Amino acid sequence: MRGTTVLSGDDDVAGQPGALPMHRLEVPVADAVPFAIGTFDTIGPMARAAFPHRHTFYEIVHVTDGRGVHVTDLAHWPLRPPHLGFLVPGQVHHWEDAAGVDGSVVLFTEDFLLDHPGDRALLRLLAERPWPTLDERSAGQAERLLADLHDEYARGAGGCPSVLRALLHVLVVRASRLYGVGSAAYDRPGTRPGAVAEEFTRLIGGGDPALWSVGACAARIGVTPGHLADAVKAATGRTPGQLVREARAHEAKRLLARTELTVRQVAGRVGFDDAAYFCRFFRRETGASPGDFRRGVEVRGGGAAPEDGGTEGGRAEDGRAEGGRVEGGRVEGGGAEGGRVEGWGRARDIHHDDRVQSIARPRRRA
């Protein structure tokens, strides 16, 4: 298999200066597995991209060395390796002042999770967590699992896709225990209302304005809008409309924080034809005007505006980013800076290119 991370075309609104680029995992061979694993160097320069961007695929990052800051959406997380981090389609991220960053990068598409669809819920919850420092035991277990993934992918022997999916599933489930996500989140999509709500959440979280509609999501899932509303309410206790409004506001924050788009352009990107109406919507949802939010982001070095509990100079004001610990799968103080995870066994100078370095799978060995 050969895969390539590329910048997308028309869907990146290329005519709007400062729009966020979208990277894809392309699999040109019809029967190839939509999966790749490698080091930061073999995956290519986009693995350490210093500019804000998003993916259409999932990414798991195992950082074993290096310094700098990883920025996800509106939060800054200083590197204190080893880390095991998760990114989902639609999230905005980049690296700041990264030097000597090394480790493994795992890339895979939505289709690769067909054997374990419940992993999608866990991956989204894991992607909301900071990247705490793994203790020696947890780091060793992660390294062994990733070594198995590397070896299986390189060999490409019979049954390889099934083994890769199984190993990935183990990695995701163990990480969910470690980071305190818990089995309830994994079990919830097993019921029909939970499955519908899970798919709805995935669709509205991808940053696509065409899907910020209950009717559009219902059509994509294959249910009636009424059934969707009932399922989402039963599974989450909230209405689809509430969740759509939150998704639109969150996407607006991403664009205001990470692009040079004007407020009018941001309004258009999140589905508002009237910029004044968008400003009223944004203030109602966040407590700040788009202009005040953007000025707060710039003053605070790229985090969220003050009323959103974001980051200041890479340090979270709510205490999540500094000094936290996770023990036995339980979070204490949250934490990416100085934080450490214990107990796995117990429970920017990269530039845009039209096309970037390929992700080449080694030739199959007999």
Per-residue pLDDT tens digits of the chain, which is 366 residues long: 333 344 333 334 433 555 688 888 876 555 578 999 999 999 888 899 999 998 889 999 999 999 999 999 888 899 999 999 999 988 999 999 999 999 999 999 988 988 887 888 889 889 988 888 999 999 999 999 999 999 999 998 889 999 999 999 999 999 999 888 765 444 444 446 677 887 888 888 877 888 888 888 888 888 888 888 888 888 888 898 999 999 899 889 888 988 888 999 999 989 899 999 999 999 999 999 999 998 884 333 333 443 333 333 333 333 333 333 333 333 333 333 344 444 454 332 222 232 333 344 444 444
Distances (CA, A) of 139 to 81, 145, 179, 225, 285: 10, 10, 13, 45, 40
- The dihedral built from the CA positions of residue 195, 199, 204 and 209, taken in this order, carries a sign that is negative
Rounded CA gap, 112 and 125, in Å? 18
Distances (CA, A) of 134 to 67, 82, 188, 214: 15, 6, 28, 40
First to last CA, the chain: 16
Residue 92: which H helix or E strand, with range? strand 92-108
Which residues make Cβ contacts (< 8 Å) with residue 254, sequence separation at least 6? 20, 73, 74, 92, 207
Give the angle subtended at the CA of 207 by the CAs of 61 and 256, to the nearest 5°.
90
Among 71, 67, 75, which residue's Cα sits nearest to residue 97? 67
Burial category of 298 from C-beta neighbours within 10 Å (exposed 0-12, middle 13-18, buried 19 and up): exposed
Q: Three-state DSSP class for 61?
A: strand
Rounded CA gap, 269 and 281, in Å? 14
Burial category of 144 from C-beta neighbours within 10 Å (exposed 0-12, middle 13-18, buried 19 and up): exposed
Please say whether the beta carbons of 70 and 142 come within 8 A: no
Rounded CA gap, 246 and 254, in Å? 12
What percent of the chain is helix, strand and coil (3-state, nearest 5)? 45, 25, 35
- What pLDDT is stored for residue 118 in this prediction? 80
Q: Three-state DSSP class for 296?
A: helix
- Reading the block at residue 185, the tokens are 């989140």
Rounded CA gap, 154 and 360, in Å? 10
- What pLDDT is stored for residue 136 in this prediction? 93
Distances (CA, A) of 319 to 177, 312, 336: 22, 11, 10
What predicted TM-score, i.e. pTM, was given to this entire model?
0.68
Rounded CA gap, 283 and 307, in Å? 11
Please say whether the beta carbons of 171 and 60 come within 8 A: yes
